[in-house]
C-alpha cells in the first residue's frame, strides 16, 4: 500500500472535513427531531445520516493525524465525499424526500460543501502524486 507524507493543505482539508462531519453529524443525530420539523425531512434520515457522519468524521480525523497516510485511504475519503454530494442532489431531484425550502437549502448546501472538499482533496492527492513521481 502506497503511503505518503501529507501536505499541510491536504492535512488541513482532512481536519476541516472531520470537524464539519462531526459537527453536522452531532447536530443531525441529536437534534434530528427539531431539524425534521424545521426542514420537513424525515427524522430517521437525519438521525442515521448524523450517526454516519460522526463515524466518518472520526475516521477522517484519525487519518488527518497520521504523518504518512495510505493513498487509498485518502482516495476513499474523496470517493465517499463525492458520493455524498451526488446522493444529496439525487434525493432532492428524484423526489425521494419532499423538504420545504429550508430543507432543500440544507441538503444542497451540504452537497456543494462536500463536493468542494472532495475536489480540493483530490487535487491535493494528484499534486502529491506528481511531486512523488518528479525526478
Q: What is the pLDDT of residues 38-60, one digit of tens each?
A: 999 999 999 999 999 999 999 99
Helix, strand or coil for residue 97? coil
Collapsed DSSP state (helix, strand, coil) of residue 7: coil
Where does the pLDDT of residue 4 fall: very low under 50, low under 70, confident under 90, or very high at 90 and above? Answer: confident
pTM: predicted TM-score of the whole model, two decimal places: 0.90
Rounded to whole angstroms, what are the CA distances from 47 to 11, 54, 56, 117? 28, 11, 14, 23
Distance CA 82, CA 87 (A): 9
Domain span including residue 102: 3-133
Residue 110's pLDDT band, with cuts at 50, 70 and 90, is very high
Instruction: Write out pLDDT tens, residues 92-109.
Output: 999 999 999 999 999 999
pLDDT at 26: 99
Domain count, the chain: 1
**pLDDT of 133 strictly over 70:** no
Closest CA to 91 of 41, 48, 36, 56: 41
Q: Which residues have C-beta within 8 Å of that of residue 2, sequence separation ≥ 6?
A: 70, 71, 72
Angstrom distance (rounded) from CA 19 to CA 112: 17
Amino acid at each position: 500500500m502506497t503511503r505518503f507524507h501529507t501536505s499541510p493543505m491536504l492535512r488541513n482539508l482532512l481536519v476541516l472535513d472531520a470537524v464539519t462531519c462531526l459537527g453536522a453529524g452531532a447536530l443531525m443525530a441529536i437534534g434530528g427531531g427539531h431539524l425534521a420539523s424545521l426542514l420537513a425531512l424525515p427524522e430517521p434520515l437525519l438521525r442515521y445520516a448524523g450517526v454516519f457522519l460522526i463515524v466518518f468524521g472520526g475516521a477522517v480525523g484519525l487519518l488527518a493525524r497520521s504523518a504518512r497516510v495510505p493513498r487509498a485511504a485518502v482516495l476513499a475519503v474523496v470517493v465517499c465525499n463525492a458520493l455524498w454530494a451526488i446522493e444529496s442532489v439525487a434525493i432532492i431531484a428524484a423526489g425521494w424526500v419532499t423538504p420545504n425550502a429550508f430543507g432543500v437549502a440544507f441538503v444542497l448546501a451540504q452537497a456543494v460543501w462536500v463536493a468542494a472538499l472532495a475536489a480540493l482533496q483530490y487535487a491535493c492527492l494528484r499534486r502529491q502524486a506528481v511531486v512523488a513521481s518528479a525526478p
